[in-house]
Amino acid sequence: MIRLRELRKSYVMAGRPLPVLKGIDLTIPTGELAAITGSSGSGKSTLLNVLGILDAYDSGSYELGDVLVKDLTEARAAELRNKYVGFVFQSFHLLPYKNATENVALPLYYAGIPRRERFRRANELLERVGLGDRADHLPNQLSGGQKQRVAIARSLVTNPRLLLADEPTGALDSATSKEIMDLLVEVNRAGTTVVVVTHESVVADRCPRRIRLVDGLIAEDQHS
């Protein structure tokens, strides 16, 4: 599913390059549930953004499925994201003026799916994450856990092969965190490759594979 070779990326800070990813070699097969851990500033989010085609890298290579992700136009990157990748963020990033169904349906709008079909599929997904009865609620009428469920439903609505979650439980209490992880495990069991960035060991321990980053390099790669 994912194949990274010698991947490097640096940011330019005050005119000087600041290396963040210093040569990552990583293969994640289809169907895996992997956690990326590491201390703050170790480059977890940067790596996840590269995996999600949200950001470019400097050198090395990244293959997603059979696509070489390199030197893409913005339009092509948008298309690939829409088709192959679902995102879940720490702070949910739901549009506050859209109800749950409309939020979940948004990626389908950019996939060019007709309105009626969008809403049908969005409601199906809400049903799947256990929020069928909250379909017409606005985000501010939902609890944190419910918002993250809506976000997960949104990330799955285009049937992506890859789900990327950046600290999905970072804003939730431990009971709700467990529920969300239950859901991600369930999603993974249904066949989607899932990569979760986290610094919480409770969350990482739910993942069969744990990759630890230290200062832009893979320091540890555990399978259990």
Ligand X SMILES: Nc1ncnc2c1ncn2[C@@H]1O[C@H](COP(=O)(O)OP(=O)(O)O)[C@@H](O)[C@H]1O
Q: Residue 88 or 213: which CB sits closer to other proteins?
A: 88
146 binds ligand X (CB under 6 A): no
For Mg ion, the binding residues in 32-51 under the rule CB under 5 A are 45
Cα 3 from Cα 64, distance rounded (Å): 7
Q: Which does 81 bind (CB under 5 to 8 A by kind): ligand X, other proteins, Mg ion, none?
A: other proteins
88 binds ligand X (CB under 6 A): no
Residues 6 or more apart whose Cβ sits within 8 Å of residue 173: 144
Strand, helix or coil for residue 152: helix
200 binds other proteins (CB under 8 A): no
One character per residue 11-50, x = contact with ligand X (rule: CB under 6 A): x-x----x-x-----------------x-xxxxxxx----
204 binds ligand X (CB under 6 A): no
Cα 132 from Cα 110, distance rounded (Å): 23
129 binds ligand X (CB under 6 A): no
Cα 51 from Cα 196, distance rounded (Å): 12
Please report the DSSP string for 68-104 in residue order. Answer: E-SS--HHHHHHHHHHHEEEE-TT----TTS-HHHHH
110 binds other proteins (CB under 8 A): yes
Q: Tell me if 135 sits within 8 A of 129, measured CB to CB.
A: no
49 binds other proteins (CB under 8 A): yes
Q: Residue 179 or 200: which CB sits closer to ligand X?
A: 200
The strand pairing partners of 88, in sequence order, are 165
Residues in the chain: 224
The strand pairing partners of 196, in sequence order, are 35, 165
Residues that bind other proteins (CB under 8 A): 45, 49, 52, 54-55, 74-75, 78-79, 81-83, 87, 89-91, 93, 95, 97, 106-107, 109-111, 115, 154, 158, 167
Residues that bind ligand X (CB under 6 A): 11, 13, 18, 20, 38, 40-46
